[in-house]
Amino acid sequence: MTERLYLYDTTLRDGQQTQGVQFSLTEKQQIAEALDALGIDYIEGGWPGANPTDSDFFAAAPKTRATFTAFGMTKRAGRSAANDDVLAGVMNAGTPAVCLVGKSHDFHVTTALGITLDENVENIRASVAHLVAQGREALYDAEHFFDGYKANPDYALDCLKAAYDAGARWIVLCDTNGGTLPHEVLQITKAVIAAGIPGDHLGIHTHDDTGNAVACSLAAIDAGARQVQGTLNGLGERCGNANLTTLIPVLLLKEPYASQFETGVKRDALQGLTRISRKLDDILNRVPNKASPFVGSSAFAHKAGLHASAILKDPTTYEHIPPETVGNARIVPMSNQAGQSNLRARLADAGIDVEPGDPRLGQILDRVKEREDQGYAYDSAQASFELVARDVLGQLPRFFEVKRYKVTIERRKNKRNQTVSLSEAIVVVKIGSEKKLSVSESMDASGTDRGPVNALAKALAKDLGPYQDIIDDLRLVDFKVRITQGGTEAQTRVIIDSEDRDGHRWSTVGVSPNIVDASFEALLDAITWKLLRDGAKPA
């Protein structure tokens, strides 16, 4: 028999408190749709009335299988719940569930709110009772609960009991400052259950200020809590909230949780977790954290020759789960530390079968090591490595040839007498017997110059004749530049990350004393690799 464990996502509220993050209405709708498809049980949409975007979002509430939830705070002292305009704004959103935050630490009640302890308890009770009377599912977020319990356990429990007795479906224990450690969360959550709040009415909400948000969430579940809150990619104020992209696969794949609990996320939906994680980063225009557990691009990367040799024989030697379980992929990077075990594993991953002892393996290794000595880095540019290997093996089609290109950068005054820059690029390619000339500039829709590399990318991808349909969905999502040598011998290394509409991502590298040349080389590799992967035929 399994128990039901409920997943509650706060990305659309807590995530928006991340420094530098501000969701648009369309972005909130996209995230809510992705969360619902994943199988999250509760989606907290934000605080109605707190800002225009949240108000518009609730006015056009998404139709979700998940329980759509509005967030607000308990009523203020000196007025009834029915006459509190802030609470009314939250209620008017019309969501089936409402989560209200209220103080549970005596210090915050007297210092931050400036009211008596009894008044705060009454505010909690009356607010929850009002929600329940209106037919809403009520949740009480016990703010600063763990600090409050350590300072005054009797009062902290009084706050919980007031909400529970008033009919709250969930009492959520919040580690608001993020300083509580897992063993404390375990002990205190057990104490709450012993005091009369059933575990199947308890939730946990943790922050990552000590790097323990996921561990603290699991500790609360171990103690008996049956709702867990968090955000995609661990977004949140300060150091972030409990990361659901880590918690979810732990709960579904690791014991004792996998056997003990059932969640709204099913195993087939789990295969979309990496895609959802990267979609959120794409919305935020952020570079994904390569070291993220489960979903990071380095989560299943095996660089050491000893590891790669073992992985080739049996992936379980150095992998705790199959990467495809969470929609990720194994990577065996190539570098000047590589041996033939790495090489054969990486070639096999690319669908290239080379027998052990084939002399061309040594030729590929020599080529990689020679080019890395020039400044290339195939450790983080897998697609470029594959092109090098296929070239040595005689398996690299020639789809097109670049005959020439030119980039110009102009500085000038606009009509408002502001100094602006504009980059323009011309690219001439030969496809079969036909030459094509493409011209593009780097100005975006807002009138901002995106630079010479952007102009080159747009020109190169503007007209590739029979290959156009294949490359139309190619996007550059990251661009990294490094100077690999100093002085007059300086070399510039450019690594470009590209992505298509299906969320496939690949990296390419270019090296030159000239940053534009290095960038163009990486761009060419990115397009060539996509054509190769998607089965394009040479013209």
Mean pLDDT check: name the lowest of 218-227, 236-245, 339-348.
339-348
Rounded to an integer, what distance in angstroms lies between the CA atom of residue 495 and that of residue 497? 7
Residue 21 is predicted with a pLDDT of 93
Average pLDDT on 391-416 reads 91
Residue 339 is predicted with a pLDDT of 62
Kindly report, residue by residue over 64-91, the tens digit of the pLDDT: 999 999 999 999 999 999 999 999 999 9
Mean pLDDT check: name the lowest of 76-85, 149-158, 373-382, 463-472.
373-382
Residue 37 is predicted with a pLDDT of 97
pLDDT above 90: percentage of residues in the chain: 71
Residue for token digits 């605080």?
47
Rounded to an integer, what distance in angstroms lies between the CA atom of residue 19 and that of residue 16? 8
Kindly report, residue by residue over 123-156, the tens digit of the pLDDT: 999 999 999 999 999 999 999 999 999 999 999 9
Packing angle, helices 25-38 and 52-59, rounded to 10: 50
SS3 content of the chain, % helix, strand, coil (to 5): 45, 20, 35
C-alpha torsion angle, residues 331, 215, 13, 198 (rounded to 10): 140
pLDDT at 29 over 70: yes
Q: What is 496-529 written as a DSSP string?
A: EEEE-TT--EEEEEEEESSHHHHHHHHHHHHHHH
pLDDT at 306 over 80: no
Helix, strand or coil for residue 322?
coil
Packing angle, helices 515-533 and 382-393, rounded to 10: 70
Q: How many CB atoms neighbour CB 395 within 10 A? A: 12
Helix, strand or coil for residue 365?
helix
Average pLDDT on 10-39 reads 95
Residue 66 near residue 264, CB atoms below 8 Å: yes
Rounded to an integer, what distance in angstroms lies between the CA atom of residue 389 and that of residue 382? 11
- Token pair, residue 471, equals 């490359």
Residue 135 exposed, middle or buried by CB count within 10 Å (0-12, 13-18, 19+): exposed
Rounded to an integer, what distance in angstroms lies between the CA atom of residue 253 and that of residue 244? 14
Residue 447 exposed, middle or buried by CB count within 10 Å (0-12, 13-18, 19+): exposed
Average pLDDT on 457-474 reads 91
pLDDT at 13 over 90: yes
pLDDT at 382 over 90: no
Q: How many CB atoms neighbour CB 338 within 10 A? A: 25
Average pLDDT on 210-229 reads 98
DSSP 75: P
Residue 163 is predicted with a pLDDT of 98
Residue 310 is predicted with a pLDDT of 78
Residue 450 is predicted with a pLDDT of 83
Kindly report, residue by residue over 268-304, the tens digit of the pLDDT: 999 999 999 988 988 887 878 989 999 998 899 876 6
Residue 383 is predicted with a pLDDT of 93
